[in-house]
Chains A and B, each alone.
Chain A
Amino acid sequence: MKVTVKHWHAVAQWRWDTGAAEPEGNDAENEDVCGICRVPYEGCCPSCKMPGDDCPLIWGECTHVFHMHCLLKWIGTPASKQQCPMDRRTWVTAERKVGTA
C-alpha cells in the first residue's frame, strides 16, 4: 500500500528560539518568562497587545533574554545605570546568530 498525503492542515505553535533547551511538556510552570514583567516570552509585554513580531525579544551578551519593550523601558530609567536587571552587568545587546546562541 502506498499512502499519499494530498493535503495536511496541521496545527503548530511558534516559539522564540532562545537557544535554551526545549522545555519538556506543555506545562505552564517550567516555562521561560521575561525577567522583568514575568510574562512568558511568547506572551507580550504589558504595554503590547499582540505577541510575536510586534513584541519581540532582546538578547543580551550576558545571555539574559527579555521582552524588548520591557528592557528598553528599564534601560530608560536612571536607576538602571544601563545594567542588565538580572546580573547588573552593563547591558550589551547581543548580535543574534540564529540557531547558535
Chain B
Amino acid sequence: MATAALRSQVAAKWHESFSRLNRTEPGITGLISFSQAWNIATEYLHPRDITDPMAVKKPADLASVKVAFDMINRSRRLPVMLETFLDDICNQYHLITRDIQKYLAQYEESGDTTVMLRLVFRLVEWFRAWSPIDELGPTIRGAYTLTFQTQLFSILPPGFVAGFKALCASTLVPVAQHTPEMWDAFEVLGLTDRYEGIIASVGYERIEEYVRETCTGKWDKPCLEGLRAWMTSQIVPWMLPMYAKGAVNTEDARGMLQNVGSRFDFHMNKTLCDLRTSEIFDIIIDFPDSMGALQDLKECLQRVDQRASLVQALRKANRKRLLHPGADTKLILTQYVATIRCLRIVDPPGVLLFKVADPIRRYLRERPDTIRSIVANLVGDDDSGDALVDENEPIQPLQQLEADDYNDPNWDPEPIDAGPDFRTNKPSDVISTLVSIYDSKDLFVKELQVLLAQRLLAITDDNFEKVEKERRNIEILKIRFGEAALQVCEVMLRDMTDSKRIDGHVQSQKASIVHPTIISRHFWPSLESSDIVMPGQFQALQTDYAKEFSTFKPDKKLRWLPHLGTVHLELQLEDRTIEADVPPLEAAFIELFSDKNVWTMDELVAGVGAVDRTAALKALITWIDLGVLKEDQENTFRLLELQEEAAPAARTAPAAIEAPAVSAAQQQQADQMRLYWKFIEGMLTNLGALPLDRIQTMLRFAPGYDQTPEQLAAFMEAARREGLVVGRDGMWKLNR
C-alpha cells in the first residue's frame, strides 16, 4: 500500500540509522559492538539495591565502561541512554522509599535525632551509589541530581519535616561534631535549599528560647549587649556551614552572612521587644530599678515596629490591673507618674505616652479624690514618703500648652504615628502633667486651700515651726501655680502669724489659757458651721478673751468658732486625776458634768446648744473610753467619781484628735448648690413638674451657675432623699 516514495523514505531513514550505529564497520560488526557497549553502559548505570549484597555493583571494568560510553556518545545515543537511566531510577525508587519509611518509623518510635542523621547519610549513600560517573559530563550529572531530588521530595512523608527540624535543632545546642558532614549531606540531597525556612525557624526558635530564658524578669541591666555577644558566639558558628558555605576567608563569610545575620538579629530584637512588651506593666512598677529593660525596649523599638502593640499591651494591662475600683488613687497616680517617666525614656517625643496616658487620665478625672491626692502630695502630706515628685526635679511654673513655634530652628514635625489630637508636651514636669488632667488649675488651688486650712488649724501655737514649714511649701507652690492663685493661702498664713502676735499681746495684758487662732473669714475655706454654745467656764474664758481683744483692736470683734480647736483638760475626780486633749465638744460635755453627775442625752445636747446627735454620742464615747463616764441606761450618762472595776483603766495619754473640721471642696460645691435651690424651688413652684434638662436650661440664667447636668441630677437626687422633691418619669416636682 505504501507508495514508492514512502518506501524509499523509510529506507533512507533506516539506512541512516543503521550507518550511525554501525558506523563504518564492515557488515554488522559495528552494530554488534554498539549493542555490547550499550549493554555494558546500562548495566553499569542501573540503579541497584544497595541493601542487597548480591546486587552490589561489581567493580566493573571502568576502562571498558568508558569505552562503551564513548561509543554510545559517538553514535549519538547518549540522550536515549540518559532517558532510560532516569526511567530506571524512577522505577527503582521504591527501594529508597522503603528505606526512608524504615528509618522514620524508627525515629518516630525513639525520637532520637541520630536516627534522622543516619537516614540522611543513608540517602547520601543511595545518591552516591546511583550516581553516574563524572566523565559523562555535568549535563548528565545535573539531570541525575534533579531527578533524584525530585523523586526524593515527592516521596518524603510529612513526618520527615519534623524529624529534620529536630535534627537541625540538635546540632545547635552543643555545637555537634558531625556538623560539617551533615551540612554537606544536606547540600548533596538539596535539603538545604528546600528546607531553608525550616532551618531558619530552628535558629529563630533557639533565639526565642534563649531570650526568654535569660531575660525574663531581668530588668536592671540592658540585655541587648549580652544577647548580641551570645549571637556571635553561638548562632553565627552554627550558621556558618549553611549560609557561608565555601567562604574562603572571614571577610567573605561576613558578606555572605550579612543578609541572614541581620534577619536573625531582627528576630532577636523582636523577641526581646515582645517579651518586654508583655512585662511592661511590671517594669513600670519596678521603675527606676528597671532602667535596663527600658533602654533595651527603646533600642528594640527603633529596630522593630512594635510601638502599636506596646501601647495596646500597656493599655490592656492598665485597664486590667490599675484602673479599677480596687486600686487606691494614690497608687494609680504613682503608677501614672512612673509610666510618664518610663515612656519618656522609651519614646522621648511622647507619642506612646500620650496614647497610654489618655485612659488613665480619663479615669483619674472621674475619681473624686484625685485632686486631693495630688495636692496632698504637692504639700508633702503623705507619710509614706513616696512622693510623686522627684525632689531633685527643678521647680518650675506650670506649663500651659503652647502652639507650635514655627520660627524655632529646632522645630520638629510631630512624629509619624501621633494621633490627631496629639499634643507635644515637651519636657514638661510631672506636676504640670498631673495638673493638666483637669481643665483648670482652679480646682487644685481650691483643694490646696482646704488642705492648708486643715493643716494650719491642727497646729497648736507651741510648735510654730510647722507654720514656717507650710509657708515654705506655699512659696514653692507659688512658683508652680503663680502668685495670684495662692493669694488666699498667703492670707491664711498671715492670719496665723497675726494670731500669734495678737495672742502675745493679749496674754501680756491679761494672761489667759485661751490661745485662739484668729482667721479672716473670707479667705478660709468654708468651715463647717456649728451652733455649739460652750458652757460654764468656757463661756467665761471666751468672753474675757474677746473683751481683751477688742481693747487691743478697737474696731474689731471676735466671733468664736467653738467647734474647732482642741482643749487640754485636767479632771480632778475623787480618786484620780485625768488629763486629756479633746475637741471642744467633748470639753463642753464634761464641763456640764461638773454641775451634776447624771445627765440624759437630751439634756446634754440642750446644754451645749444644738448639736448633731451622732457627734454628741461620739464625744460622749470618748469619755466613756477614758473611764470618766458610764452609760447606765441607754442615753443616760453618769460621771464616775470613783473608778469602777468594769471601766477600762484611766489613760493619761491624750485621746486621739481627729475630725478635720474643714469641709471638702465637694462639700463646698454642695453648699454652693444650695444657693441655687432657691431658684429651683421657685421654678418648680411656678411651673409645676419640670424635666431635668429644663431645670438646667433655666438655671443657666442664674449668675455664676456652672454645674453640669450630671451634677444637677446628683443634687436633685440628694434633694429627693431629703424629701424636698419627688421625681417621677424624669419629671421633678416639689414634694408637698
Chain B residues with CB under 8 A of A76: none
Query: B513 contacts A14, CB within 8 Å?
Result: no
User: Can you spell out 27 A-B residue pairs with CB atoms less than 8 angstroms apart?
Assistant: A2-B572, A3-B537, A3-B572, A3-B587, A5-B538, A6-B513, A6-B569, A6-B579, A7-B460, A8-B541, A8-B566, A9-B460, A9-B565, A9-B566, A10-B514, A11-B517, A11-B561, A12-B517, A12-B560, A12-B561, A14-B559, A15-B559, A16-B555, A17-B550, A22-B559, A51-B520, A52-B520
Q: Give A51 to B524 CA distance when docked, in angstroms.
A: 12
Query: A11 contacts B568, CB within 8 Å?
Result: no
Report which of A5, A12, A25 forms a contact with B537, defined as CB distance below 8 A: A5
- Interface flags for B508-527 (1: CB within 8 Å of A; 0: not) read 00000111111111110011
Within 8 A of A (CB), among B283-315: none
Report which of B515, B584, B591 forms a contact with A7, defined as CB distance below 8 A: B515
CB of A57 closer than 8 Å to a CB of B: yes
| B202 to A: closest C-beta gap in Å | 77
Interface residue tally of chain B, by bracket?
35 or more
- Interface flags for A1-45 (1: CB within 8 Å of B; 0: not) read 111111111111111110000100110010000000000101100
Chain A residues with CB under 8 A of B541: 5, 8
Query: A1 contacts B573, CB within 8 Å?
Result: yes
Chain B residues with CB under 8 A of A56: 555
Known contacts: A3-B594, A5-B567. The answer to whether A16 contacts B556 by CB under 8 A is yes
| B301 to A: closest C-beta gap in Å | 51
Known contacts: A42-B520, A96-B554. The answer to whether A3 contacts B559 by CB under 8 A is no
Query: A8 contacts B555, CB within 8 Å?
Result: no
Q: Which residue among B487, B513, B541 has the maximum number of chain A CB atoms within 10 Å of its CB?
A: B513
Query: A51 contacts B559, CB within 8 Å?
Result: no
A sample of 8 more A-B contacts (CB under 8 A), given A3-B569, A5-B541, A9-B567, is: A2-B594, A3-B587, A5-B568, A11-B527, A11-B565, A15-B557, A42-B520, A49-B487
Chain A residues with CB under 8 A of B597: 1
Within 8 A of B (CB), among A61-82: none
CB of B97 closer than 8 Å to a CB of A: no
CB of A86 closer than 8 Å to a CB of B: no
Q: Give A64 to B157 CA distance when docked, in angstroms.
A: 110
Query: B516 contacts A11, CB within 8 Å?
Result: yes
Q: Give A1 to B569 CA distance when docked, in angstroms.
A: 12
Q: Which residue among A6, A43, A96 has the maximum number of chain B CB atoms within 10 Å of its CB?
A: A6
- Interface flags for A49-61 (1: CB within 8 Å of B; 0: not) read 1111100110000
Query: A10 contacts B457, CB within 8 Å?
Result: no
Chain A residues with CB under 8 A of B675: 29
Interface residue tally of chain A, by bracket?
20 to 34
Query: B556 contacts A14, CB within 8 Å?
Result: yes
Chain B residues with CB under 8 A of A3: 536-537, 569-572, 587, 590-591, 594
Query: B568 contacts A13, CB within 8 Å?
Result: no
Chain B residues with CB under 8 A of A2: 571-572, 594
Within 8 A of A (CB), among B117-153: none
| B577 to A: closest C-beta gap in Å | 9
| A47 to B: closest C-beta gap in Å | 13
CB of B88 closer than 8 Å to a CB of A: no
Closest 3 CB pairs of A and B: A11-B564, A7-B568, A98-B554
Q: Give A42 to B526 CA distance when docked, in angstroms.
A: 14
Chain B residues with CB under 8 A of A15: 521, 556-559
Query: A13 contacts B555, CB within 8 Å?
Result: no
Report which of A1, A7, A17, A51 forms a contact with B523, defined as CB distance below 8 A: A51
Interface of B with A (CB < 8 Å)?
457, 460-461, 487, 490-491, 494, 498, 513-523, 526-527, 529, 536-538, 541-542, 545-546, 550, 553-562, 564-574, 579, 584, 587, 590-591, 593-594, 597, 639, 641, 675
Q: Give A64 to B573 CA distance when docked, in angstroms.
A: 55
Q: Give A30 to B557 CA distance when docked, in angstroms.
A: 18
Query: A14 contacts B590, CB within 8 Å?
Result: no
Query: A10 contacts B584, CB within 8 Å?
Result: yes
Q: Give A99 to B107 CA distance when docked, in angstroms.
A: 113
| B118 to A: closest C-beta gap in Å | 95
Chain A residues with CB under 8 A of B564: 10-11
Query: B513 contacts A5, CB within 8 Å?
Result: yes
Chain B residues with CB under 8 A of A40: 522
Q: Give A16 to B573 CA distance when docked, in angstroms.
A: 43
Report which of B457, B560, B641 forms a contact with A1, defined as CB distance below 8 A: B641
Query: A8 contacts B554, CB within 8 Å?
Result: no
Q: Give A57 to B557 CA distance when docked, in angstroms.
A: 14
| B135 to A: closest C-beta gap in Å | 111
Report which of B457, B558, B584, B641 forms a contact with A13, defined as CB distance below 8 A: B558
Query: A50 contacts B494, CB within 8 Å?
Result: yes
Query: A8 contacts B515, CB within 8 Å?
Result: yes
Q: Give A34 to B520 CA distance when docked, in angstroms.
A: 16
Chain A residues with CB under 8 A of B559: 12-15, 22
Closest residue to B551 on the A side, CB-wise?
Answer: A98
Closest residue to A49 on the B side, CB-wise?
Answer: B487
| B456 to A: closest C-beta gap in Å | 10
Known contacts: A1-B593, A6-B569. The answer to whether A25 contacts B513 by CB under 8 A is no
Query: B555 contacts A12, CB within 8 Å?
Result: no
Query: A13 contacts B520, CB within 8 Å?
Result: yes
Closest residue to A101 on the B side, CB-wise?
Answer: B555
Closest residue to A39 on the B side, CB-wise?
Answer: B522
Q: Give A12 to B587 CA distance when docked, in angstroms.
A: 17
Chain B residues with CB under 8 A of A53: 553
Q: Give A50 to B537 CA distance when docked, in angstroms.
A: 35
Query: A26 contacts B518, CB within 8 Å?
Result: no
Closest residue to A43 on the B side, CB-wise?
Answer: B522
Chain A residues with CB under 8 A of B568: 5-8
Q: Give A52 to B557 CA distance when docked, in angstroms.
A: 12
| B437 to A: closest C-beta gap in Å | 29
| A98 to B: closest C-beta gap in Å | 4
Report which of B491, B516, B554, B593 forms a contact with A10, defined as CB distance below 8 A: B516
Query: B498 contacts A52, CB within 8 Å?
Result: yes
Q: Give A5 to B515 CA distance when docked, in angstroms.
A: 12
Q: Give A12 to B548 CA distance when docked, in angstroms.
A: 14
Chain B residues with CB under 8 A of A99: 550, 554
Q: Give A68 to B561 CA distance when docked, in angstroms.
A: 28
Known contacts: A16-B555, A25-B529, A49-B487. The answer to whether A10 contacts B565 by CB under 8 A is yes
Query: B572 contacts A1, CB within 8 Å?
Result: yes
| A77 to B: closest C-beta gap in Å | 26
Closest residue to A6 on the B side, CB-wise?
Answer: B568
Query: A49 contacts B519, CB within 8 Å?
Result: no
Chain A residues with CB under 8 A of B516: 9-12
Q: Give A11 to B566 CA distance when docked, in angstroms.
A: 9
Closest residue to A22 on the B side, CB-wise?
Answer: B559
Query: B584 contacts A17, CB within 8 Å?
Result: no
Report which of B491, B513, B561, B573 forms a contact with A50, defined as CB distance below 8 A: B491
Query: B498 contacts A1, CB within 8 Å?
Result: no
Q: Give A13 to B499 CA distance when docked, in angstroms.
A: 11
Chain A residues with CB under 8 A of B490: 49-50
Q: Give A15 to B559 CA distance when docked, in angstroms.
A: 7
Closest residue to A11 on the B side, CB-wise?
Answer: B564
Query: A9 contacts B461, CB within 8 Å?
Result: yes
Report which of A5, A7, A17, A50 forms a contact with B555, defined as CB distance below 8 A: A17
Q: Give A53 to B526 CA distance when docked, in angstroms.
A: 22
Query: A8 contacts B513, CB within 8 Å?
Result: yes
Chain B residues with CB under 8 A of A9: 460-461, 515-517, 565-567
Q: Give A11 to B584 CA distance when docked, in angstroms.
A: 10
Closest residue to A2 on the B side, CB-wise?
Answer: B572
Query: A17 contacts B557, CB within 8 Å?
Result: yes
Query: B460 contacts A13, CB within 8 Å?
Result: no
